[in-house]
Amino acid sequence: MLSALTKANFYLNYFGFLKVPLIWYCRPQILSLNERSVEIRIPLKRRNKNHLNSMYFGVLAVGADVAGGFMAMHKAQRRGKPISLAFKGVNAEFFKRPEADVHFHCDDGELIDSMLDETIATGQRINKAVKIIATCPSQHGNEPMAEFWLTLSLKCVKP
């Protein structure tokens, strides 16, 4: 029997390969997933380095997208309601160059639950910012390399 984390990683790879190949190319892995938070790791490889040997800006954006988006997709699927999910805006602040594997943390599970509750109840599009923190545990412990605020946009789609 496969664990829930194994199934989630399989779904992420499947989604990336078929729907968003750039996600698949970056090889994100879900390290933890629960009702409150998610942690995604993207390994630093030749394919995602910039000319300074740190993780390329676009790959950091992919990691933030996956951390915020996967949690929302996972929660929507568990509710069994058709939900349209997109990101409407992004703000980011970069503190240090990530020169090792990067971990992306999103602890906004309760916010996403409330957004899903609201859109299911009203049928209206709900937009709220979710926060994603990028760290390099092997390089700087839990010190943030970057912070992202992605405006998550959810709408319950009536069948």
Tell me the pLDDT tens digit for each residue of 128-159. Answer: 999 999 999 988 778 899 999 999 999 998 76
Element holding 152 (H helix, E strand): strand 144-156
Query: Is-contact 121 146, C-beta < 8 A?
Result: no
Distance CA 84, CA 152 (A): 11
Q: How far apart are the first and last CA of the chain?
A: 33
Burial 37-61 (b: 16+ CB within 10 A, else e): ebbbbbebeeebeeeeebbbeebbb
Element holding 104 (H helix, E strand): strand 102-106
Q: What is the pLDDT of residues 71-125, one digit of tens each?
A: 999 999 999 889 999 999 999 999 999 999 999 999 999 999 999 999 999 999 9
pLDDT range class, residue 127, cuts 50, 70, 90: very high
